[in-house]
Amino acid sequence: MNIKIKWETDAEKIDASLVRDILFRNDIVDEFINFDNKYFIVASKGIGKTLLLNYKRYELEKRYRSGEAENGEDESIVFIPTKKPYLDFVTNFGFLSQDRLNFLSDWKKCKMLWELAIETSILSYYYYFSKEEGGKVAYLKEINEGMERNLSLSMMNNLINPTFMLCEILRMNIKQVMQFLDDYSNKIRAQFTNIQSGVIVFIDRVDQSLMDYNSKVWINVQIGLLEASWDIMRMNHHVKIYTSIRQEAYANYSSPNKTAISGEVSLIKYTSKDLNGILDKLSNFYEKVSYVDFIGFSKLDNLFAQKEENSFDYLYRHTIGRPRDLVSICSKLSPEKKNLTKEKFREIVNNTASTDIVTNAFEEVEILLDTLKDKNNREKFLALLPYNIFTFDELKDVCRKFNKLLECPPIYDCKKCDKHGHPFCELYNIGLLGIVKKDYDSGKLKQKFVEPSEMNQFSNWVLPMDSPYYLVHPSIHVYIDGLRNKFFSSKYNMIRYLLIGNNYTWEKQYSNLIEAQKIIIGKVPTEETKEHLLSILKDFEKPQGVINKLKEAGKTVVDKSVELSRIIELLLKIFESRS
C-alpha cells in the first residue's frame, strides 16, 4: 500500500503498518512493545501515546493472526474495537450536571463505572461472536431493563465499546446510576468471569474527552480507568486491557494498589539524545535523508549568545522535549528545504515554537491551571517580563504587579500567600520557567526545566525559592516580545552571550554578565552607546579585559555625561570586585 504522509502530528492519521518505519525505540518503548506485562502507557501530551497503542495492537494482531501466539491462543482472540479505529475513544461526554461531576470526582466511583462499562462491552463482543443466541438476548434484555430509557433492540446484534457504554450510563441521573450499579454489577461480573477465550481491549484519549470539565474529574476518571483495568485483568486472565493515562493525572493520585499497578506501567520519556534519534528516524522516513542533510547544515551561529551551536541543539532548546514539537517545527521547515538558509531556519524555529508549541503547551494543561488558564490573563502576565533571566526579587516584583498589589505580603515565603495568583509557579509547572540548581552527578550548577515526564503537582507550592536565577524558556521569547510591544510598546530584552537550555551548565561568571547587562539596558540613554557597552561584555569570561575596555569606553563614548560615567563606574565595580 503506497500511503503518502508528511510530518504528521496526529497519530490517528498514521497507518499502523507504517509505524515501524518511524518509531524510535528506546528501552522503555521496547519494553512496552515486546513484553506482555506492560499495559498502561503514562506520558504527557505530545509524547506519542496513541502511536504506541496503535502499534502495539498492530503487532498483537499480527502475532495472533499468524499463529505465533503462545499458550495455545490463536485467531479466536477478540479485539475491542473490532476494526478501525484501532482504539476505543470518546470525543466528549456531553453535558454533565453538577451531581454527575461530583460523582466523577471520586476515582473509586469512576472505577465502578469503568468496570461495568468494560465488562459489558466485553460480554457484548463475546456473545456477538459466539453461538449462544439465547444467552445473548437474555443478557442484553437485563441491561435494557436497568436503563432509564430502553436501548434500541438493534444493540442486541451490535458491538458495544467501553466508552460508549460509559456515556450511556452517564445519561442517567446519579440515583439511577447507583441503582443500576447495584442491580447489575454483580450479575454482569458473574457472566464476565466465565469468559474462557482471549479478549484484548484498547482504550485511548480519555483525557481529551474531559477537558471541558474540571481537574478533579479529569484526573479521577483517568485513574478510575487505570484501577478498573488492573482489577478486571486480575479477575479474568483471558482479558487484557491496554490504555493511556496522562502523566499529570498519574502523578496526582494515591491508592494502596499504586505500587502493584506501577509494575504494569510504561512511563514514556525521552532524553535529548533520544529526541535526536527520533528526528533522524523521522527525517529518513519523510525526507529520505538524515536530519542534517534535510536542513543542509549541522551548525549555525547563535546571534544572541555569539556562539556556534549544533543545529539540532538549537531546535531542541526551542521545544519542551516532546517528539510532537520536533514534528511541528519540521513540518514548517520541509516546504522551505530547497532554499533553507540559516537565517530562515532560525526564523521558522523561533516562530513555530512561540506559536504552535507554546500555545499547545498552555492549552493541553489548561484544565490544571488557575492563574494562567485565561488567555488574556496569561498575555498580560507574560507582557510584564522585561528580561529572560530574573532574580527572585525581580520575580516577586513582576508577580506583585500582575496581582495589582502595592507591595507583597510581609512574608518571605510565597508559598504562604494563598490569596493571589501564582503565575510563575504555573509557568514552572508547564516547563517554561527554569531554575539553576546543583547537579549531584557532576557537582556543577546546571539549568533545569521541568520535563514532560516530570509534570506532576500543579499547585502554588512547587517553584523552588532558592534558585539564584529564574530562566524563561527560549520557545516563548518571540511570543513575549510581541506581547510587550502590544501592551507597552516596549522591548523584551534577552541576556546576551549565554545559552538557555535544559541541563546546560551554569557558569559562575554569568552573574557578572547578567547584572552588568541589566544596568546597561535600564540606564544607558542611547542605543549606540548601549550596543557599544554590551559588545564589551562579550569577553565576560576574561574580567580584566572587560575592565580595561570599560575604562577605555569611559574616555571614548559619544554621549559623555555624568550619568554615563556613573554607569561605567557601576559596571567596573561588578567586574573589579569579582575578578
Across 165-174, 250-259, 563-572, which has the greatest mean pLDDT? Answer: 250-259
Across the strands, what pairs with 48? Answer: none
Inform me whether the pLDDT recorded for 151 exceeds 50: no
Kindly report the average pLDDT of the chain as a whole number.
Answer: 88
pLDDT tens-place string over residues 278-290? 999 999 999 999 9
- Mean pLDDT lowest among 153-157, 213-217, 462-466, 484-488: 153-157
* pLDDT at site 344: 97
DSSP string, 5-45: --S---GGGS-GGGHHHH----HHHHHHHH-SS--EEEE-T
Across the strands, what pairs with 79? Answer: 200
Cβ-contact 89, 55 below 8 angstroms = no
- Mean pLDDT lowest among 140-144, 264-268, 448-452: 140-144
Query: How wide is the angle at C-alpha 513 spanned by C-alphas 510 and 517, nearest 5°?
Result: 140
pLDDT tens-place string over residues 429-487? 999 999 999 999 889 999 999 999 887 766 667 889 899 999 999 999 999 999 999 99
The grid cell for 61 is: 494482531
Cβ-contact 469, 390 below 8 angstroms = yes
Cβ-contact 49, 244 below 8 angstroms = yes
Query: Phi and psi dihedrals of 200, rounded to 5?
Result: -125, 125
| Residue 525 binned pLDDT confidence (cut-offs 50, 70, 90) | confident
* pLDDT at site 173: 85
* pLDDT at site 16: 84
Residues 170-187, mean pLDDT to the nearest whole number: 84
**Dihedral in degrees, nearest 10, Cα atoms 267, 31, 200, 236:** -80
Inform me whether the pLDDT recorded for 30 exceeds 80: yes
Cβ-contact 117, 162 below 8 angstroms = yes
Cβ-contact 470, 345 below 8 angstroms = no
Give the pTM.
0.91
pLDDT tens-place string over residues 40-84? 999 999 999 999 999 999 999 998 876 555 555 555 789 999 877
* pLDDT at site 153: 34
| Residue 152 binned pLDDT confidence (cut-offs 50, 70, 90) | very low
| Residue 94 binned pLDDT confidence (cut-offs 50, 70, 90) | confident
Q: How far apart are CA 428 and CA 372, in angstroms?
A: 12
Cβ-contact 557, 525 below 8 angstroms = no
* pLDDT at site 365: 92
Inform me whether the pLDDT recorded for 392 exceeds 60: yes
Q: How far apart are CA 456 and CA 430, in angstroms?
A: 10
| Peptide bond between residue 409 and the one before it cis (omega within 30 degrees of 0) | no
- Largest interatomic CA distance in the chain: 101
* pLDDT at site 135: 53
**Dihedral in degrees, nearest 10, Cα atoms 459, 464, 469, 470:** -20
Inform me whether the pLDDT recorded for 154 exceeds 50: no
